[in-house]
Amino acid sequence: MKRYDMIVVGAGPAGLCAAIEAAKCGMHVVVYDENAKPGGQLFKQIHKFFGSKEHKAKIRGFKIGEELLEEADALGVEVVLNAVVIGLFPEKEITVKIEEHVEHVKGDTILIATGASENMVTFPGWTLPGVIGAGAAQTMMNLHGILPGKRVLMLGSGNVGLVVSFQLMQAGCEVVALADAAPRVGGYGVHAAKVARCGVPFYLSHTILCAEGDDHVTGVTIGEVDKNWQVIKGTEKYFEVDTICLAVGLSPMSKLCDMAGCDMEDNPAKAGFVPIVNEYGETSIPGIYAAGDVSGIEEASSAMIEGRIAGIAAAVRMGFLTKEAGDAEFKKQKTALEGLRQGMFAPGMRGKAITQTEEGVAISKNLLEHGFVAEEEIERFPGVTHRKGIHPVIECTQNIPCNPCQDACPKHCIKIGSKITALPAVDPEVSCSGCGMCVASCSGQAIFLVDEDCGDGTAQITMPYEFLPLPQEGEKGIALSRSGEKVCEAQVVGVRSAKAFDHTRLLTIKVAKEYAMKARFFRREDAR
């Protein structure tokens, strides 16, 4: 029987990070993954990640995946693909199906990092071709370069629904609406805002009544629900679509842990049936660990740290790392993990209604109910200031763990401070060179450079732009508001790209000066 110091099940962010940490200490590690390619879902994530430097913030998910694979490879981690782990036994043995045979392998430690699977909802017509999971849409467009459809309705306003809606538009689809039965947007406000300003209407408190079509989806009807989730008659709305995308949450895939006899719990805060683990990720069976979504749904950023912690703990257990060295490393990782678990979207905050930010600023109600901050709300946030000349306007209105903007400004005019969830504030004393680094660094695409009065009756607004075709300098089009409605005519006066911007283009438009604080997106004239 083959024997390893550590067997990792799942080559996603948690599994790879654990393997890297264990291999760094000299452990002989194997990673099994049932897919043909490693990386889990990281290679479908084309947006910039949140967090701070240590969490790989502002790096796009697929780049993080590439980095992790390179690191694992350099450390001699063995990654076996098309390998389905079909059994896990308390003696820390596994059975794995590779092609047509089954191998029996022994691990002195085992990490389960099998991730999660997508939830679904049922409605008449939900089995029709054209109804797909949000993950399927990502797989099609970001891995295989094919459009999931032309006109899409997204169900679900959590981060997955919001991020995938944006990605659908980046790929060239039209997102006709975003619906969610919940009364409030579930994901980050900045993700919602960048979808809303492209003109996607949000229908909160709405659910799908039925999908239309004989052999495939041709349309969808949604309707408003009351407090008891009953559809209110007369509120039905029909959309002609060829695709309905479901982003209604994830559930941990924890069956292997259960099979081995690990103590399990049904924990709503962790979004499902999960193994009970201690602070090192160790289950009730000593030497068997769980990390990432399998032990509670969170972001990939936290999965990576959980993986590192489990890798370190396994190394200490096996004597590859001294207790002291392990403790020091664990403390560092724990601090990083705690940093991510703060703010309005921390795991403990699920389902809680929040009325004000940590700074005591009233939350934007409009953002929660319609996906964008209303004009009369935006001025109260510390990132929104006014002055003569070009300056950043930071429309970041919720406490989320993210701070790349603070380091982006070469003049240090953006302040977040040591608390990573604090709202960024602009220092009015520091002049702005208009370099645009902050605009490109913001994973939420919430920073704009505004010159409110150029002296000739116009204002200029620089915004992040990640769509094709790229508007050209001199091109005329329409400025859209935060809600995606037409504000005024606009002309492109600058298009900047730089390696440091990492594929985010900075588009500068000129509008009449009264629209300086209204215009937040640009639509090309020949677009719909």
Partner 1 sequence: MRIEEHPILGTYKKGEIVPFTFDGKTLEGCAGEPVAIALKNAGVMVHRYTRKEHKPRGIFCAIGRCTDCVMVVNGKPNVRTCITPLEAGMDVRTQYGVSAEQPDKGERK
Nearer to partner 1, 46 or 414 (CB): 46
Q: Is residue 132 within the footprint of partner 1 (CB under 8 A)?
A: yes
Q: Which stretch binds partner 1 (CB under 8 A): 86-94, 167-175, 260-268, 448-456?
A: 167-175
Q: Shortest approach of partner 1 to residue 238 CB, angstroms?
A: 20
Tokens 């090192």 label which residue?
Answer: 280
Binding flags for partner 1, 477-506, as an x/- string (CB under 8 A): --------------------------x---
Would you state the structure tokens that stand for residue 151, as one six-digit string? 């006109």
CB of 249 to partner 1, least distance (A): 14
Scanning 22-30, 97-105, 138-146, 367-375 for contacts with partner 1 by CB under 8 A, the matching segment is 138-146
Task: Report if residue 133 touches partner 1, rule: CB under 8 A.
Answer: yes
> Residues 6 or more apart from 492 whose CB is under 8 A from it?
471, 472, 473, 474, 475, 476, 477, 507, 508, 509, 510, 522
Contacts of 395 (CB under 8 A, 6+ apart): 190, 193, 373, 378, 381, 383, 384, 446, 447, 448, 482, 520
Rule CB under 8 A: choose which of 170, 235, 251, 267 binds partner 1: 170
Least distance CB 296 / partner 1 (angstroms): 20
If binding is defined by CB under 8 A, does position 124 make contact with partner 1?
A: no
| Residue 141 near partner 1 by CB under 8 A | yes
Query: Among 303, 295, 208, which Cα is nearest to 248's?
Result: 208
∠ CA 137-141-142, nearest 5°, is 105
- CA distance linking residue 383 with residue 415, whole number of Å: 9
Helix H or strand E encompassing 451: strand 447-451
Write the binding mask 21 to 40 for partner 1: x where contact by CB under 8 A, - elsewhere.
Answer: -------------xxx----
Retrieve residue 437's tokens.
Answer: 């680094």
Identified binder of partner 1 from the candidate list 67, 78, 103, 118, rule CB under 8 A: 118
Q: Which stretch binds partner 1 (CB under 8 A): 130-138, 309-317, 390-398, 518-526?
A: 130-138
User: Are 162 and 195 contacting, i.e. CB atoms less than 8 angstroms apart?
Assistant: yes
Which three-class secondary structure state does DSSP give residue 154? strand
- Part in contact with partner 1 (CB under 8 A); list of ranges 6-14, 96-104, 365-373, 463-471: 463-471
The residue whose two tokens read 């990939």 is 300
CA end-to-end span of the chain: 63
* 507: contact with partner 1 by CB under 8 A: no
> Pattern 197-216, binding to partner 1, x per CB under 8 A?
------------------xx
Q: By CB under 8 A, is residue 467 in contact with partner 1? A: yes
Element (H, E) at 87: strand 83-89
CB of 141 to partner 1, least distance (A): 6
* Beta carbon of residue 135, minimum distance to partner 1 (angstroms, whole number): 7
Q: What is the 3 state secondary structure string of 183-200?
A: CCCCCCHHHHHHHHCCCC
| Residues at the contact surface with partner 1, assessed by CB under 8 A | 34-36, 46, 60, 62, 117-118, 127-133, 135-136, 139-142, 144-147, 170-172, 215-216, 466-468, 470, 503
